[in-house]
Amino acid sequence: MTTALYRRYRPETFAEVIGQDHVTAPLRQALRNGQVNHAYLFSGPRGCGKTSSARILARILNCERNTEANPTDTPCGQCESCRELARGGPGSLDVVEIDAASHGGVDDARELRERATFAPSRDRFKVFILDEAHMVSPQGFNALLKIVEEPPPHVMFIFATTEPDKVIGTIRSRTHHYPFRLVPPDVMLSFLEQVAQAEGVTVGAGVLQLVVRAGAGSVRDSLSVLDQLIAGSGPAGLDYEGAVALLGFTHASLLDDLVDAIAASDGASAFRVVERVISTGHEPRRFVEDLLERLRDLIVIAAAGDAASAALHDVPADQLAHMRTQAVHLGASELSRSADLINAALSEMTGATSPRLHLELLMARLLLPGADDSVAGFSARLDRLERGGIVSTATLTPAPLLPAAMPSDSVVATPAVA
């Protein structure tokens, strides 16, 4: 049984906390100045470092080397308290962690108030970390109010919560509030690269980008995903195929084939992709979501040109080169029109009984700007004309392109053609 990555890479100092510089920098400055408040509120999404930071703050406050004469923002790591509060340490008597989700009642709050009146057993402060602080009941908060308003000099409260608005105002106004954020993708990516390297795992191109996407900005979730991928990997390490299948993302090659088909008005290929999506067990809605994301990337590329790589840092270089070609082939108006269509289809697909039908209708619309009388449709047709495209065949003859391309059992047997 191995320890979870998330535990093994839990930060022990503020310097190790990633993606929260806007919080850690001013907090560390305050600590260096010896400006210590008696109550802190750490808010933000789950898994982005609030509880870890609360523990780090407690560790610094009770570090033997941190004195009023010599304030510091980094735990020494050697004194008894620092060692007790290190990763995997036994914990300290003077740092009390309370999970308000299970101990948020008024009796728990009264007991806490009682405990707070006693002096610390060894260290400078008695630190109470209230995790999930929004779960403290209103009566519980009221019981705590007095001690938070007028705390004994040795008492310190750190509230950690995903919902700061649920912490009653009278308590909140006594705290220094530090809002944590989701970790930006590029910061997360380089962190995961470091972890993979430290773990000695070989990682194929594009895999960590998938992990970043799946983790959605939460360090804990991202490391859990990476953990799972590593656990299921062979001696060759992590490869893109395995990761994309396990995480349920659409394989980039499916998106490539579809976008290429749309750019070439190649109905046969487009519907073959739909066939592959269905036959490989992809969820149609997820596929359309991923397609929309791809269109977004292409729009960024079309708009930003060479500068796009900065905005699309999670796209590997060879993939980016291919997407540049796709953006040129489709053109700005067609990209924008397609994104609108895909977005509309995505809303229609929510709760739809036949998502496949919607997916196929979407294909028909994407392939036929000629059937679209809106300004966006005309604009897309103009784009195609300018590129020497085949807009006239799709418009004037009864759509030779599409019916020939349709699988015989398809539900979209007679698409309306303007």
Region near Zn ion per CB under 5 A, out of 81-89, 331-339, 347-355, 407-415 = 81-89
Q: Return the number of the residue (75 or 331) whose C-beta is nearest Zn ion.
A: 75
Q: Return the number of the residue (12 or 290) whose C-beta is nearest Zn ion.
A: 12
In the bound complex, what is the minimum distance in angstroms from residue 65's beta carbon to Zn ion? Answer: 5
List Cα–Cα distances, 234 to 66, 230, 231, 360, in angstroms: 47, 8, 9, 38
List Cα–Cα distances, 124 to 63, 112, 155, 157, 196, in angstroms: 8, 18, 9, 14, 38
What is the token pair recorded at 178?
A: 């530090």
Region near Zn ion per CB under 5 A, out of 10-18, 30-38, 82-90, 370-378 = 82-90
Q: Return the number of the residue (82 or 412) whose C-beta is nearest Zn ion.
A: 82
Q: Find the angle CA(394)-CA(334)-CA(340) to the nearest 5 degrees.
A: 110
Region near Zn ion per CB under 5 A, out of 79-87, 91-99, 111-119, 266-274 = 79-87
In the bound complex, what is the minimum distance in angstroms from residue 92's beta carbon to Zn ion? Answer: 11
Site string for Zn ion, 41-70 (x = CB under 5 A): ----------------------x-------
What is the token pair recorded at 381?
A: 């047709």
Quote the DSSP letter at residue 409. Answer: T
In the bound complex, what is the minimum distance in angstroms from residue 7's beta carbon to Zn ion? Answer: 21
Q: Return the number of the residue (79 or 201) whose C-beta is nearest Zn ion.
A: 79
Q: Name beta bridge partners: 83.
A: none
Q: Return the number of the residue (89 or 400) whose C-beta is nearest Zn ion.
A: 89
In the bound complex, what is the minimum distance in angstroms from residue 35's beta carbon to Zn ion? Answer: 20
Q: Return the number of the residue (79 or 247) whose C-beta is nearest Zn ion.
A: 79
Closest to 381 in 3D by CA, of 260, 371, 399: 371
Backbone angles phi, psi at 247, to 5 degrees: -85, -5
Q: Which of 57, 60, 82, 167 is close enough to bind Zn ion by CB under 5 A? A: 82
The CA distance from 49 to 223, in Å, is 13
In the bound complex, what is the minimum distance in angstroms from residue 77's beta carbon to Zn ion? Answer: 6
In the bound complex, what is the minimum distance in angstroms from residue 154's beta carbon to Zn ion? Answer: 18
The CA distance from 313 to 315, in Å, is 6
In the bound complex, what is the minimum distance in angstroms from residue 62's beta carbon to Zn ion? Answer: 8
Site string for Zn ion, 167-186 (x = CB under 5 A): --------------------
The CA distance from 403 to 271, in Å, is 11
The CA distance from 123 to 92, in Å, is 9
How many residues touch Zn ion under the rule CB under 5 A: the total is: 5
In the bound complex, what is the minimum distance in angstroms from residue 84's beta carbon to Zn ion? Answer: 10
Strands 39-43 and 155-161: parallel
In the bound complex, what is the minimum distance in angstroms from residue 80's beta carbon to Zn ion? Answer: 8
Q: Return the number of the residue (58 or 219) whose C-beta is nearest Zn ion.
A: 58
Q: Name beta bridge partners: 178.
A: 42
Euclidean distance between the first and final Cα of the chain, in Å? Answer: 64
The CA distance from 185 to 303, in Å, is 21
Tell whether residue 304 is a contact of Zn ion (CB under 5 A). no
Q: Which of 30, 76, 278, 328 is close enough to bind Zn ion by CB under 5 A? A: 76
Q: Return the number of the residue (82 or 342) whose C-beta is nearest Zn ion.
A: 82
Q: Which of 6, 45, 79, 113 is close enough to bind Zn ion by CB under 5 A? A: 79
| Alpha helix ranges (H) inside 216-354 | 219-231, 240-247, 252-263, 267-279, 284-304, 308-311, 317-330, 332-349
The CA distance from 366 to 341, in Å, is 7
In the bound complex, what is the minimum distance in angstroms from residue 23's beta carbon to Zn ion? Answer: 22
What single-letter amino acid sits at 34?
Answer: G
| 58 close to 158: Cβ distance less than 8 angstroms | yes
Q: Return the number of the residue (154 or 387) whose C-beta is nearest Zn ion.
A: 154
Q: Which residues bind Zn ion (CB under 5 A)?
A: 63, 75-76, 79, 82
